[in-house]
């Protein structure tokens, strides 16, 4: 099946610094990628939809200036958590839809666990 890779899988940073998480589709092109946040024992919360070559669409309540998303190519989207604070500590997951693929079928990355000290 299609493979989506996230990097880094774990990151620890100091409060006030910025952290970048990469999401790559390894063997397919993804015109659309999604970023989610998962809290312990809770479901995924869609943060934003990232479209190649255009601005991301953010869900209500998600600060676009804090969670910067860039989708510069058909195989790479990045999420940058700017001026991170301890409350930003979470598990961030990306997913990608194959261009022209079945509606709704997504392939997920392994997730990136962010810990802000």
Partner 1 sequence: GNSVTQMEGPVTLSEEAFLTINCTYTATGYPSLFWYVQYPGEGLQLLLKATKADDKGSNKGFEATYRKETTSFHLEKGSVQVSDSAVYFCSSGSARQLTFGSGTQLTVLP
Site of interaction with partner 1 (CB under 8 A)? 1, 4, 6, 34, 41-44, 46, 49, 93, 95, 102-111
Report d(CA 31, CA 36) in Å as an integer. Answer: 17
- Based on CB atoms, which residue is closest to partner 1, 48 or 81? 48
Q: Which residue, 24 or 109, has its beta carbon nearer to partner 1?
A: 109
Minimum distance of partner 1 from residue 108's CB (angstroms): 4
What is the closest distance, in whole angstroms, from the C-beta atom of residue 7 to partner 1 in the complex? 12
Give the list of residues 6+ apart from residue 4 with CB closer than 8 angstroms, or none: 23, 24, 25, 26, 30, 94, 95, 96, 107, 108, 109
Shortest distance, position 44 Cβ to partner 1, whole Å: 5
Measured from the CB atom, the residue of 1 and 86 that comes closer to partner 1 is: 1
* Dihedral pair phi/psi, residue 88, rounded to 5°: -85, -10
Total residue count of the chain as it appears in this document: 117
């Amino acid at each position: 099946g299609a493979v989506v890779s996230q990097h880094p899988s774990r990151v620890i940073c100091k409060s006030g610094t910025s952290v970048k998480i990469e999401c790559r589709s390894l063997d397919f092109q993804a015109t659309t990628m999604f970023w989610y946040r998962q809290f312990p024992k809770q479901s995924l919360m869609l943060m934003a939809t990232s479209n190649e070559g255009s601005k991301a669409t953010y869900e209500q309540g998600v600060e676009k200036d804090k969670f910067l998303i860039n989708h510069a190519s058909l195989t790479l989207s990045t999420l940058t958590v700017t001026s991170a604070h301890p409350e930003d500590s979470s598990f961030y997951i990306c997913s990608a839809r194959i261009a022209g693929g079945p509606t709704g079928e997504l392939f997920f990355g392994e997730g990136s666990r962010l810990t802000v000290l």
